[in-house]
Amino acid sequence: VNSEDQIIQLIKKKLGSPKSPYGIGDDAALIDPQHLITTDFLVEGVDFKRTEDLKRVGRKVINVNLSDLAAMGAVPEMALGYAAFPKGTKRSQLERFLAGLKAAANRYKVRLIGGDISEAKQWIAGAVMIGKVAKGKPFLRSGAKSGDDIWVTGTLGGSILGKHLDFEPRVREALFLREDLPVSSCIDLSDGLGQDLPRLLKCSGKGAHILPESIPVSRDAHRLSKKTRKSALEHAFQDGEDFELLFTLSPRFQKRLLQRWKRRFKTPLTRIGQVTSQKKCRLAGELWKGFDHFR
């Protein structure tokens, strides 16, 4: 088995799709009409280096789960932590990890209610988080409509230079959208725009027309492109762990969105294209070659 999508397909096939419309596939699963649950974990050597400050790791454990709940427009409420670590782990290291966990949880008023610990060759740390959908249905990946604008928060690419550990989950932005606007679909960018946009469109049964010049390329994508063979735009498309929100909204609400957003947030917000009825993705007219996940 290779890609995450292949594995998820296998899991769906073997375990059967859950009856809930918000089961395997969305960023969080529904446990009752008002509560969502999600779990996400980090692995040393895959998601962070052995030498990394464990406070950043603890913070990220909470923040990746917050980002999943944000993608569904849920208010985070409580979390369980879990971790496995090598026998020789020092008390001070564990304390750094716990300090990060606590700082991030406090920042978004998440109550830590329990967890599990064990031993492993490498650090593995995760959390389970429960959130509440304040009113109505959560944001899904499946509601994008033809003609909707496609929006993205923040700037994209090059997160490996630091943002992948220190990003701010878009909790407040998601709750603002949930309250004020009829967002038709939403996902958080964990595997890069080039993979997560196709995922959202596939769930919605739609295509898109993307304007490459509109993509908000981050400074770090530019910095990184000087060291790699890729352009900054390629980094913005392909790099994972941006943890920004990608959402769709009818163009009727464009003005209202922009006005209110500017009043409340410094977080950039960019319209990068439009949803189309053809199940294809075009970059400024050209068929997007990297769009293979879409088949």
Residues at the site binding a copy of itself, with contacts judged by CB under 8 A: 1, 4, 7-8, 10-11, 14-16, 18-20, 23-24, 26, 28-31, 35, 37-43, 45-47, 78, 80, 82, 84, 89-91, 94-95, 98-99, 101-102, 111-122, 124, 126, 128, 130
Quick one: which H or E segment has residue 107?
Answer: helix 91-107
* Smallest distance, a copy of itself to C-beta of residue 247, A: 21
- Answer yes or no: are the C-beta atoms of 48 and 64 closer than 8 Å: no
Burial label for 221, CB within 10 Å (0-12, 13-18, 19+), is buried
Q: Pull the structure tokens for residue 131.
A: 């959130």
* Smallest distance, a copy of itself to C-beta of residue 119, A: 5
* Smallest distance, a copy of itself to C-beta of residue 290, A: 22
End-to-end CA distance of the chain: 18
- Long-range CB contacts (within 8 A, 24+) of 48-54: 48/123, 48/165, 50/122, 50/123, 52/165, 53/96, 54/93, 54/94, 54/96, 54/97, 54/100, 54/123
* DSSP three-state, residue 248: strand
**d(C-alpha 100, C-alpha 51), whole Å:** 16
- Answer yes or no: are the C-beta atoms of 262 and 176 closer than 8 Å: no
* Smallest distance, a copy of itself to C-beta of residue 204, A: 19
Query: b/e string for 72-101 if b means 16 or more Cβ within 10 A?
Result: bbbbbbbbebbbbbeeeeeeebeebbbebb
Burial label for 161, CB within 10 Å (0-12, 13-18, 19+), is middle
* Smallest distance, a copy of itself to C-beta of residue 39, A: 5
**Which sign does the torsion angle of CA 129, 38, 99, 161 carry?**
negative
DSSP 8-state code for residue 147: T
DSSP 8-state code for residue 24: B
* Smallest distance, a copy of itself to C-beta of residue 29, A: 4
* Smallest distance, a copy of itself to C-beta of residue 133, A: 15
* Smallest distance, a copy of itself to C-beta of residue 284, A: 34
The type of residue at 292 is D
